Structure 1
């Protein structure tokens, strides 16, 4: 991601005058799907009510890779947008480039430190000061289950990994697929991190995926997690390799499979199919993780612009994003929960209410951990190194758990 600081300073000197001419607050984002687009429209409306114009800069692509490519070219050319959707450790990378605006004055005036769990606010800061504002919280360590499949198989929804394999055996014996899975690296990593959290707990998870401790990664606990993860493959179907996540969710919706391990964006598929939580489907923490929470958070950073009028607009945008009104409407549309603590959940469904309760309790218990699979716990190069090792292990039975752990350690060292 390194941007030449000399080149950047020259480009900024030449280019900022262009962005200074416009009073509109230009916002780069990759929210282009139905519910997301509705939320963007609401954010635009709220900002305009504060007297600012909105210049929409939407770049399609759910993961944001295309948006980041466009953003880098804009910053290097000296014409950054006023705000951009950036998350996780990438915020720190941009902070190191010296191109982000400091929004600490807004944060202090509104008491953000008291409104956000420290593990969340820390991600939003660079050198101890706010440069980003969180929009939402996605819980990643969900297990989605079809109760009818469980009834037909005479199985019980599992709360531990031992119980999971008992239930999976019964579902398989009844002629159904126990686990709907999409064999793509990011989906492998999503399931794997839930296994690690369930087997090792939050403290171990932090040692392995946040601190990247080689001893933790090579430990018997990680070996057990790897072997547990691989064992899940026997309960998937032959069509799993390459399957998109939403098609795996559809298998659970249709009763073709019993369970799926996926973040709370999967809930949107159930909702779109007219299914009701508790009746048509069950949302439960992945086995062994009911007292912990892996989070994936969308957020916006503000870029340093030499324009006082735009600076006021940036501050009002940041304030609006964390306002109770926007936090509610956005997360109702997105399927996630508010990042802001102590917000009323009366309009949310039972899955979101459970997610919110667990978000708050895990932040108190210090079992709220950043998702490795979704770029919250470490830089993208390290995340990719871990994911590659995990996927190779999952798909190649000749690779032992010990060898996979060693490869993770070596790959992480090479990527740092």
Structure 2
């Protein structure tokens, strides 16, 4: 099933990776917005300073679907890049296919088992061996708000979904778009996931980690779907196909009041020179203050023949976990360092809040992998959920009960 999920033929396994130029490392990623480009350039510079050649292979698309399509075709052709941005269970799928390189020597020298939270290090290993380097930790369940729009509308920042709708009605009446949103499947899933999370940690685990059918088609899922569908009346008519960073700019520029999005959105505020607590507000998505859905970006290393490229790969893995990169990258990206014990003095209040919430949620059992961002389920299940969620959001006459039933059947079919 995993082989089907990746769409890779077994014939591809016999193909050797093409030789790269000496010391060159080709890196496939989907960090293409302004703040993301700034962040990835930090790593590019560090690699070049270490004497390596960086070959950038950026594929636009905030959810990474386009990048994964390109990666599959390159792997089938026997010419995968040296490193690729891969996340969550997908790392295991590529490991099963025999494409990933062992980087245990780098991890041992860098004490990765000690400097990484166990929930992170586990994801970076295949069959007990490190095959990927974690870059950062994103909190997904954030609400971003423009306080000036709220003031003009006479509305208050919501902490529950009921309060959200009260505020949204006032904002809409005042002539602003209440919710900045992009009509792409992964963005729909990000919004829906935050709503489902507010139904409780136990429900979230059952539905999006354990894939329990009773939870998927049960009353809490129907409640979440009902709330999600109600959101449709608070987005603007031009939302279809909009990229996430364009939606963020609507909040930055005062055209919209709120956006439910991971903290990569903060990178756009930072890039625009905006200050947290003054120009924008960052709070947990309504009803999820004690919970933390995480998205961990990582670079998986693919098997290559060239010894020079292998050395460059190891330099890449080593540099990713160095404090210098962890600080500079995450300051630009909006995320928090994945390395434990990092100084906080250069990070803003949103990042500080995220670090505190990460630690607290880890201790309480409320630290949860994001379904919408490929951390909790494999690509087949995620795709099945995406199809139902986005179809429901855009189909006026589909009921929440019908959508829950479709979700149940879609997940069963993908297992």
Structure 2 Cα separation of the partners of residues 118 and 76 of structure 1: 33
Calculate the aligned-residue CA RMSD, in Å.
2.4
Structure 2 Cα separation of the partners of residues 6 and 116 of structure 1: 36
- Paired residues for 1:9-408 under 5 Å: 9=14, 11-12=15-16, 18-19=19-20, 22-50=22-50, 52-63=51-62, 64-198=64-198, 200-306=199-305, 308-408=307-407
1:176-206 C-alpha deviation (Å, 9 max, x unpaired): 43222233322221110000001x2223212
1:61-101 C-alpha deviation (Å, 9 max, x unpaired): 13444443443344334343332222222211110011211
In 2 relative to 1, CA 238–74 (structure 1 residues): closer, same or farther, beyond 3 Å? Answer: closer
Structure 1 contact 250–269 (Cα < 8 Å) conserved: yes
1:359-405 C-alpha deviation (Å, 9 max, x unpaired): 22222222122222222222222212112211222222322211111
Structure 1 contact 341–360 (Cα < 8 Å) conserved: no
- Paired residue secondary structure (1:275): coil
Name the TM-score, length of structure 1 as normaliser.
0.89
TM-superposed deviation, 1:326 = 0.7
Instruction: Give the total of aligned pairs.
Output: 409
Structure 2 Cα separation of the partners of residues 243 and 38 of structure 1: 22
Structure 1 contact 139–295 (Cα < 8 Å) conserved: yes
Name the TM-score, length of structure 2 as normaliser.
0.89
Structure 1 contact 119–368 (Cα < 8 Å) conserved: no
Structure 2 Cα separation of the partners of residues 55 and 167 of structure 1: 48
In 2 relative to 1, CA 390–25 (structure 1 residues): closer, same or farther, beyond 3 Å? Answer: closer
TM-superposed deviation, 1:7 = 4.5
Structure 1 contact 373–383 (Cα < 8 Å) conserved: yes
Structure 1 Cα separation of the partners of residues 200 and 146 of structure 2: 26
Structure 1 Cα separation of the partners of residues 42 and 173 of structure 2: 49
In 2 relative to 1, CA 402–105 (structure 1 residues): closer, same or farther, beyond 3 Å? Answer: same
Query: Is the aligned partner of 1:4 residue 2:2?
Result: no
- Paired residue secondary structure (2:123): coil
Structure 2 Cα separation of the partners of residues 315 and 403 of structure 1: 50
Structure 1 Cα separation of the partners of residues 136 and 37 of structure 2: 15
Structure 1: any 5+ residue segments left out of the alignment?
Answer: none
Q: 2:410 — aligned with what?
A: 411
1:302-360 C-alpha deviation (Å, 9 max, x unpaired): 12335555444333321211111111111122222211122112112222222222222
- Paired residue secondary structure (1:374): coil
Structure 2 Cα separation of the partners of residues 255 and 184 of structure 1: 22
Structure 1 Cα separation of the partners of residues 336 and 320 of structure 2: 13
Structure 2 contact 12–75 (Cα < 8 Å) conserved: no
- Paired residue secondary structure (1:144): strand
Structure 2: any 5+ residue segments left out of the alignment?
Answer: 1-5
In 2 relative to 1, CA 175–360 (structure 1 residues): closer, same or farther, beyond 3 Å? Answer: same
Structure 1 Cα separation of the partners of residues 28 and 301 of structure 2: 10
In 2 relative to 1, CA 80–183 (structure 1 residues): closer, same or farther, beyond 3 Å? Answer: closer
In 2 relative to 1, CA 313–183 (structure 1 residues): closer, same or farther, beyond 3 Å? Answer: closer
TM-superposed deviation, 1:211 = 1.7
1:106-133 C-alpha deviation (Å, 9 max, x unpaired): 3234332332222222221112322111
Structure 2 contact 34–268 (Cα < 8 Å) conserved: no
Structure 2 Cα separation of the partners of residues 256 and 33 of structure 1: 20
Structure 1 Cα separation of the partners of residues 133 and 167 of structure 2: 42
- Paired residue secondary structure (1:264): coil
Structure 1 Cα separation of the partners of residues 176 and 249 of structure 2: 14
Structure 2 Cα separation of the partners of residues 67 and 309 of structure 1: 25
TM-superposed deviation, 1:49 = 4.6
Structure 2 Cα separation of the partners of residues 49 and 244 of structure 1: 33
Structure 1 Cα separation of the partners of residues 65 and 241 of structure 2: 19
